[in-house]
């Protein structure tokens, strides 16, 4: 086996976090990264299971790897992540050239599985629980100044459309002490921004019993303590559940200078009937009240959301309610999805699946509305001066990409050092990015 590896990641930030750990485990064993599949000794496909096209992506990639494996029998092909946990033996049945299937809880055992696959044939480990948190594993990050920090993998909610509890298991909160030690170590290594990760971050600590006290969420306390780590400039988090966005969390965001003025606030639908069938424990009026309260406490906060179109039984009136809420909420950006049934979820068995052509037409209308709102929200920033964190060259190599505290991308003409902070004046806008010019005075300190 060549001592090189290649990782392809599909899905959310938690998958990206896990890929950093997979890379760390492999590199700690002496393997070196490569971008050329023909040179790789190990290829890892770290998968997502949220939508139907995730399956198509996996098996499409596995199809492309089949002739590579035939030409190089020593190649080890690994399928990791949520689809590995969900599909299990189905993966090797459909793609018998896969050597290792490793589920979301089994990453600490990856090296052992690879070694055994060389002598014993295909291996699979999709255990339901592990004592080791992914963040305890070594990591290789794409950049040196930002880091994901997992605080509570798993989820205790029962949204009828969501497969996450099936593939990630129940919520398990890390101790505040472990998280702080990790963050302090990251800052000592040059990290200036961390993003706290969980399927439902604002119930962090609910599954932990503190001696002498009742169980209670600890997320507000965690925000304040992480935000106080010396040398850290920015703290972000994702994703919260609207129901659990309690006043103490809002206060912690408003009072902690390092916590960025941005939040992801999933709506999913603007119809109370659809929200009820989704088993989302809020209704549209309550959602908008929460949003108003957060914006009152944190002026200028950037808000992104998730919206699902075409949930089973969604009527035109239901969809009109969604458009109304999106118009009222005026999100800065939105991740908009066409509903796809996921085997194992309650909604997959619902009657009244909406025809695809109807879903597509509604989806197009929602995208058109949100694009207009995003453009208007971005346009209102032209002329303002904002602090940005430089991320590096953009994908096309024509400008430098940076990011505001409110999570807006700003393109700059100047070549700047990744990881540096500068002040820029916004001179132009589009729906999904801004254009800025350097303010030549020194960058302002964090808020």
3-class SS at 196?
strand
Q: How confident is the model over 108-148, as pLDDT tens digits?
A: 999 999 999 999 999 999 888 777 777 778 889 888 999 99
Mean pLDDT of 179-188: 96
Q: How confident is the model over 72-95, as pLDDT tens digits?
A: 999 999 999 999 998 888 999 999
1 pLDDT tier (thresholds 50, 70, 90):
low
Q: Report all structural domains of the chain as residue ranges with CATH numbers, in order of start.
A: 4-125 (3.40.50.12160), 134-379 (3.80.30.20), 385-438 (2.40.50.140)
| Confidence at residue 11, expressed as pLDDT on a 0 to 100 scale | 80
- 91, 83 Cβ separation under 8 angstroms: yes
Percent of the chain at pLDDT > 90 equals 79
- 182, 129 Cβ separation under 8 angstroms: no
| Confidence at residue 53, expressed as pLDDT on a 0 to 100 scale | 76
| Confidence at residue 217, expressed as pLDDT on a 0 to 100 scale | 78
The DSSP call for residue 61 is H
Instruction: Compute the C-alpha angle 227/233/234, nearest 5°.
Output: 70
Structure tokens at 412: 């700059």
Count other Cβ atoms within 10 Å, centred on residue 223: 25
**Is 289's pLDDT higher than 80?**
yes
| Confidence at residue 441, expressed as pLDDT on a 0 to 100 scale | 54
Q: Which pTM does this prediction carry? A: 0.90
247 pLDDT tier (thresholds 50, 70, 90):
very high
* H or E element in which residue 421 lies: strand 421-429
| Confidence at residue 212, expressed as pLDDT on a 0 to 100 scale | 59
Residue 395's alpha-carbon distances to 6, 37, 304, in angstroms, are: 20, 21, 22
31 pLDDT tier (thresholds 50, 70, 90):
very high
- 152, 172 Cβ separation under 8 angstroms: yes
Residue 35's alpha-carbon distances to 41, 58, 59, 78, in angstroms, are: 12, 18, 20, 16
Residue 8's alpha-carbon distances to 11, 281, 444, in angstroms, are: 10, 35, 38
- 114, 48 Cβ separation under 8 angstroms: no
| Confidence at residue 300, expressed as pLDDT on a 0 to 100 scale | 96
**Is 204's pLDDT higher than 50?**
yes
Instruction: Compute the C-alpha angle 307/370/304, nearest 5°.
Output: 55
Task: Using the Cα atoms of residue 304, residue 165, residue 17 and residue 202 in order, give the sign of their dihedral.
Answer: positive
278 pLDDT tier (thresholds 50, 70, 90):
very high
| Confidence at residue 44, expressed as pLDDT on a 0 to 100 scale | 97
Mean pLDDT of 38-54: 88
213 pLDDT tier (thresholds 50, 70, 90):
low
99 pLDDT tier (thresholds 50, 70, 90):
very high
| Confidence at residue 444, expressed as pLDDT on a 0 to 100 scale | 47
What mean pLDDT, rounded, does the chain reach?
A: 92
**Is 208's pLDDT higher than 80?**
no
**Is 442's pLDDT higher than 70?**
no
Q: Can you tell me the distance from the alpha carbon of 334 to that of 375, in angstroms, rounded to the nearest whole number?
A: 12
Strands 32-33 and 4-9: parallel
209 pLDDT tier (thresholds 50, 70, 90):
low
How many helices (H) and strands (E) the chain has is answered by 13, 17
Closest C-alpha among 164, 76, 149, 91 to residue 125 = 91
For 312, what's the count of Cα atoms within 13 Å in the CB-facing half-sphere?
Answer: 18
Q: Can you tell me the distance from the alpha carbon of 133 to that of 325, in angstroms, rounded to the nearest whole number?
A: 38
Long-range contacts of 390-396 (CB under 8 A, 24+ apart): 390/416, 390/417, 390/418, 390/419, 390/420, 390/421, 390/422, 391/143, 391/146, 391/418, 392/143, 392/418
**Is 210's pLDDT higher than 70?**
no
Mean pLDDT of 361-371: 98
Q: How confident is the model over 344-359, as pLDDT tens digits?
A: 899 999 989 999 999 9
Q: How confident is the model over 307-317, as pLDDT tens digits?
A: 999 999 999 99
């Amino acid at each position: 086996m060549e001592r090189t590896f290649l990782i392809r990641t599909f899905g959310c930030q938690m998958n990206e976090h896990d890929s950093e750990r997979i890379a760390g485990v492999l590199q700690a064993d002496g393997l070196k990264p490569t971008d050329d599949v023909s040179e790789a000794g190990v290829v890892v496909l770290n998968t997502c299971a949220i939508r139907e096209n995730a399956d198509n992506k996996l098996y499409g990639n596995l199809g492309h790897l089949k002739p590579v494996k035939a030409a190089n029998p020593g190649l080890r092909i690994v399928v990791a992540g949520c689809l590995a946990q969900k599909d299990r033996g189905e993966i090797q049945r459909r793609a018998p050239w896969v050597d290792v299937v490793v589920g979301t809880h089994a990453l600490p055992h990856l090296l052992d599985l690879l070694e055994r696959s060389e002598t014993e044939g295909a291996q699979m480990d999709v255990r339901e629980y592990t004592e080791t948190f992914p963040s305890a594993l070594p990591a290789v990050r794409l950049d040196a100044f930002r880091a994901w920090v997992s605080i509570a993998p798993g989820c205790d909610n029962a949204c009828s459309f969501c497969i996450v509890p099936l593939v990630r298991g129940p919520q398990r909160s890390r101790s505040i002490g472990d998280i702080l030690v990790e963050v302090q170590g990251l800052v000592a290594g040059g990290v200036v921004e961390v993003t706290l990760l969980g399927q439902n971050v604002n119930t962090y600590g609910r599954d932990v019993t503190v001696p002498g006290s009742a169980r209670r969420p600890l997320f507000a306390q965690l925000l304040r303590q992480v935000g106080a780590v010396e040398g850290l400039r920015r703290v972000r988090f994702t994703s919260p559940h609207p129901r659990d966005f309690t006043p103490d969390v809002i206060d912690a965001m408003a009072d902690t200078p390092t916590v960025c003025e941005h939040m992801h606030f999933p709506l999913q639908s603007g119809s109370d009937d659809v929200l009820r069938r989704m088993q989302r424990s809020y209704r549209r009026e309550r959602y908008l009240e929460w949003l108003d309260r957060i914006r009152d406490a944190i002026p200028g906060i950037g808000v992104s959301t998730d919206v699902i179109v075409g949930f089973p039984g969604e009527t035109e009136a239901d969809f009109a309610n969604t458009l109304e809420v999106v118009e009222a909420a005026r999100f800065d950006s939105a991740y908009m999805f066409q509903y796809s049934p996921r085997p194992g979820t309650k909604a997959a068995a619902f009657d009244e699946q909406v025809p695809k052509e109807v879903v597509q037409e509604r989806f197009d209308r929602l995208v058109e509305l949100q694009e207009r709102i995003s453009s208007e929200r971005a346009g209102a920033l032209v002329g303002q001066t904002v602090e940005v964190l430089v991320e590096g060259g953009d994908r096309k190599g024509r400008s430098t990409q940076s990011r505001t505290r409110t999570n807006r991308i700003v393109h700059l003409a100047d070549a700047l050092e990744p990881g540096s902070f500068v002040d820029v004046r916004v001179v132009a806008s589009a729906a999904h990015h801004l254009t800025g010019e350097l303010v030549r005075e020194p960058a302002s300190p964090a808020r």
